Amino acid sequence: MKISSEENEEHISPTNHLLQSLIHSIPQVQTFKGKWSLIKSKLLILQTHITDFSNFTSNTISLDLLHSIHNTLSDSISLCESCKDLTLPNGKLRTQNDVDSISTRLDRHIHDADLLLKSGVLDDDNNNNNSSLSLSVRAEIRCLITRLQIGSSDSRNSAMDSVMILLHGDDKNVLIAVGQGIVPVLVRLLDSLSSHELKEKTVAALARVSSIDSNKSVLIDEGLLLLNNLCRVLESGSGFAKEKACIVLKALSHAKENARAIGSRGGISSLLEICQSGTPSSQAAAAGVCRNLSEFAEIKENFIEENAIPILLSLLASGTSSAQENAIGCLSLLICNDTQLKLFIAKEGGIESLKNYWDSSPSIRNLEVAVDMVKNLASCPLIAETLITDGFLNRLIPLLNCGVLSIRTVSANAIYELSFNSRTRKELDSNYDSNCIPSLVKMLDGKAIEEREAAAKALSSLMGYAGNRRLFRKEGRGIMGTIQLLDPSVEKLDKKYPVLILTSLVKSNKCRKEMIAGRACIYLQKLCEIGDVEGAKKLLENLGKGKLFGGLFG
């Protein structure tokens, strides 16, 4: 709310009058002369700021500040009068404390006035004649950011309420606020001696900021100051504050340095405690942070030391769908390359919980972490048999035809791990209609290299069983799709897998002729010249024996 120049002068003039009176009275004090001399220097700085206010049309912020300064000056004049008497009516100690308090209050006023003048808020009120909604929101946010930094705790708390309304109104408002510099202000508030209520609201505001991906770099730039304060919230905040802190930490924990800092700060212990006894929504949020942290191998030991596996298994068994998904994601990363942990999870009912989550999953997209965990578990032969018995092979095959690239890819990789079990190969051969061979052949022509390699990888193992080779030969695009993967121009794809597929079929005259007609020999020759691809030279020899194929290499 803007104030007219006449009203503005009505507020500035009395304050200036008090200030001048105090400056003139200070030389007459008889006690604490040094302290009063310092106060006088602060009054001269404040006088300059008040003069600057007269050049602008005031608003409610500047009026609140002027009122606060006026009250301080009134108290100062009374105190100054008492210090003119050597006897000090209120006693030396109390008077000294009062003088120090006045000095501190003046410091705050100088800081607030300086910040208000530099913020541009007063310029907005002077020059904002544009009715654009965007400019109006920008000015309002700038004003609120200023209010968060000046005045009393109650004033800042009120400003934060208004900030939250704006942030939750529209993503564009969040982006404007971040552009205006709200993040460093929120971080300083979180680090200050603010009230418990204000800290909660500050964490909630940071959580809202972190909900937009483009803001993550701004949060990361705040470094350890933000991380340490968020970890403190995890330790001693309310359930609401802990949940919001986890949301921010989830955005920050993708960076390795941040993950290391959270781990060394005791954050994992606090996160696991929330996973164990927090509210359902805070459990899901905490598990999400754990999932990010577990991506870094060096932090794995922290989880083991904190006995994380049983806690995450319990969350997988009884948490919300979101909490279960994050628990699976974390467990899957922790057990990777650790046979003992895989066996522990199987022994403690993890496979049954995984199956229950799979069968009740609200969306196919939520299955990716579950498929990845099956892939990691299946690499242990003792567990692969259990997975097949529990029907995971039949759960995986339909996913090869789903519309989500990443799920198709990880499903093919999971089948590759399971396919080393002879029972898997036999089960696939027993029913063509539910067999994965046609789907994998289709994936050989996929656009993404990762999908094509995963399909070739799975097929290379499945071809070790005669029944699967028969099924593969029925697929018209099988051999040609595999040959195309040998082309050296198809980069970042391990050529040993298509070589293995073709090698398993080379004894068939029909297949051998199809390979030759499809330019397999030319591709293999190039691969042999470029480098050592396992099995390429032998396959080339099998295809090119005798003078019959001599002209193919000319």
Residues in the chain: 554
Query: pLDDT tens string for the chain (554 positions)?
Result: 444 555 556 678 888 889 999 999 999 999 999 999 999 998 988 888 887 777 665 567 778 888 889 999 999 999 999 998 888 888 999 999 999 999 999 988 888 888 887 766 776 554 544 445 455 788 888 889 988 988 778 888 999 999 999 999 889 999 999 998 999 999 999 998 778 999 999 999 999 999 999 999 999 999 899 999 999 999 999 999 999 999 999 999 988 999 999 988 889 999 999 999 999 999 999 999 999 999 998 899 899 999 999 999 999 999 999 999 999 999 999 999 899 999 999 999 999 999 999 999 988 999 999 999 999 999 998 899 899 989 999 899 999 999 999 999 999 999 999 987 666 666 665 544 558 899 999 999 999 999 999 999 999 999 988 888 988 999 989 999 999 999 999 999 999 999 999 999 999 999 999 999 999 999 999 999 888 788 999 999 999 863 344 444 43
Contact 285, 247 (CB under 8 A): yes
pLDDT attached to residue 351: 97
Find the helix or strand (DSSP H, E) in which 133 lies: helix 133-147
DSSP assignment of 13-29: HHHHHHHHHHHHHGGG-
Q: Residues 332, 337, 338, 343: is their CA dihedral positive or negative?
A: positive
Delineate the domains of the chain, giving CATH numbers in brackets.
5-127 (1.20.930)
pLDDT of residue 50: 83
For 157, the 3-state DSSP assignment is: helix
Distances (CA, A) of 538 to 461, 499, 534, 541: 18, 10, 9, 5
Lookup: tokens for 397:
């095959």
Helices (H), 192-307: 196-210, 216-220, 223-236, 239-252, 256-264, 267-277, 280-293, 300-305
Query: What local confidence, expressed as pLDDT, does residue 1 receive?
Result: 44
User: Bridge-partner residues for 59, per DSSP?
Assistant: 2
Q: Which one, of 367, 370, 362, 368, lies nearest residue 387 by Cα?
A: 370
pLDDT value of position 280: 95
In order of 143, 260, 284, 413, the CA distances from 303 in angstroms are 44, 12, 17, 26
3-state secondary structure 479-544: HHHHHHCCCCCCCCCCCHHHHHHHHHHCCCHHHHHHHHHCCHHHHHHHHHHHCCCCCHHHHHHHHH
Other CB atoms within 10 Å distance of the CB of residue 206: 28
- Between CA 202 and CA 28 the distance in angstroms is 46
pLDDT score of 64: 81
